[in-house]
């Protein structure tokens, strides 16, 4: 086995919408809508990416979304989009400047391939556990398509020179531009610029290599599945007597990386389908053990860490975690952890 130290991020030759085709392809992430919502959104849109990310919409209603034919349909649809010229691959490895505009909020990040090795050694930091079934789904999808179709959202500590390079890249004519629609992401403008300049590419690679860590904001199952794919393919190469260098494409995963100070954190919502056999008074008594409860006249949007809104039987309540339940551990004190562990 031979190997070299992998860069934290590196450029890659993306398969992306051909000029002018982005609005036809754009679609919400696969995990924010169900099959029927996807079917409705993709109606009359033969090139919607939902035909790849939610391919069961092209099979008979009631098809198990984890059936082998679903993954085969995704691969078939991807090949169709490439053959039709809707998706084209860049001729050289590039970075990509990616801008999101949501109302008054603007954020600009880097689309890059991130190192599985750095994920495995926790230089790319995690904060969630993953579910094996969801990992398996992503693994099967990557294997069927031989492609990673959904980026992992990463955050990096604000680095002014990185921001400056990305800002300069966004001054030219965009290579892709479109406005999202549908169940999630509606009204968000997505704009992409290809960074082909060799000097800018080299400098971005150096600047990210100098960072102590990147942080997963969303996409724990996608990154975990990429790690599994990497391990499987590396083992297969070694079993065949083929060198594993650490530079093969499977050693990296698709990512979009934003500076931490530009990210927005939205409220975390859950639906309680039942109260575990408890009456409403008994349920609220249990809630009151860990939270202070304040009735509200309108929908509650958390204003500070440790605040949550609860909607039950037509009424809104603001929940505030009791101070003695907030641990010193930085992961344990995240709102997602407080909610998981105390409600």
Q: What is the pTM of this model?
A: 0.82
Q: For residue range 110-140, list pLDDT tens digits in order.
A: 999 999 999 999 999 998 889 999 999 999 9
pLDDT of residue 2: 42
SS3 letters across the chain: CCCCCCCCEECECCEEECCCCHHHHCCCCHHHCCHHHHHHHHCCCCCCCHHHHCHHHHCCCCCCCCCHHHHHHHHHHHHHHHHCCCEEECCCCEEEEEEEEECCEEEEEEEEEEEHHHHHCCCEECCCCCCHHHHHHHHHHHHHHCCCCCCEEEEECCCHHHHHHHHHHCCCCCCEEEECCCCCCCCCEEEEEEECCHHHHHHHHHHHHCCCCEEEEECHHHHHHHHHHHHHHHHHHHHCCCCCCCCCHHHEEEEEEEEHHHCCCCCCCCCCCCCCCCCHHHHHHHHHHHEEEEEECCCCCCCCCCEEEEEECCEEEEEEECHHHCCCCCCCCCHHHHHHHHC
Q: Is the pLDDT of residue 281 over 70?
A: yes
pLDDT of residue 185: 54
Domain boundaries, the chain: 9-14+89-262, 280-342
Average pLDDT over every residue of 330-342: 89
Q: What proportion of the chain, given as a percentage, has pLDDT over 90?
A: 78
Q: For residue range 177-206, list pLDDT tens digits in order.
A: 888 765 455 688 999 999 999 999 999 999
Q: Who has greater pLDDT, 228 or 340?
A: 228
């Amino acid at each position: 086995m031979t190997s070299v130290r992998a860069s934290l991020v590196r450029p890659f030759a993306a398969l992306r919408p051909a000029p002018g085709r982005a609005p036809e392809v754009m679609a919400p992430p696969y995990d924010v809508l169900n099959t029927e919502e996807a079917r409705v959104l993709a109606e009359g849109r033969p090139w919607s990416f939902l035909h790849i990310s939610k391919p069961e919409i092209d099979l008979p209603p009631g098809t198990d979304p984890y059936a082998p034919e679903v993954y085969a349909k995704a691969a078939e649809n991807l090949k169709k989009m490439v053959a039709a010229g809707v998706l084209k691959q860049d001729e050289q490895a590039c970075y990509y400047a990616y801008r999101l505009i949501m109302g008054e909020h603007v954020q600009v990040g880097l689309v890059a391939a991130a190192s599985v090795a750095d994920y495995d050694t926790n230089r790319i930091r995690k904060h969630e556990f993953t579910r094996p079934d969801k990992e398996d789904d992503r693994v099967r999808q990557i294997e069927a398509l031989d492609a990673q179709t959904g980026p992992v959202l990463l955050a990096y500590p604000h680095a002014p020179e990185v921001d400056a390079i990305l800002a300069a890249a966004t001054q030219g004519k965009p290579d892709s531009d479109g406005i999202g629609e549908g169940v999630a992401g509606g009204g968000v403008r997505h704009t992409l610029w290809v960074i082909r300049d060799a000097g800018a590419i080299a400098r971005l690679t150096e600047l990210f290599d100098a960072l102590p860590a990147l942080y997963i904001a969303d996409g724990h199952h996608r990154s975990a599945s990429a790690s599994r794919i990497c391990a499987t393919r590396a083992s297969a190469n070694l079993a065949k007597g083929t060198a594993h260098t650490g530079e093969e494409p499977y050693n990296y995963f698709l990512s979009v990386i934003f500076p931490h100070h530009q990210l927005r954190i939205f409220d975390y919502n859950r639906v309680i389908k039942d109260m575990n056999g408890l009456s409403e008074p008994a349920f609220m008594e249990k809630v009151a053990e860990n939270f202070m409860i304040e009735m509200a006249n309108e929908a509650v949007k958390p204003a500070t860490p440790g605040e949550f809104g609860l909607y039950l039987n037509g009424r809104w309540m603001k929940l505030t975690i009791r101070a003695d339940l907030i641990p010193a551990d930085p992961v344990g004190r995240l709102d997602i952890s407080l909610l998981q562990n105390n409600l």
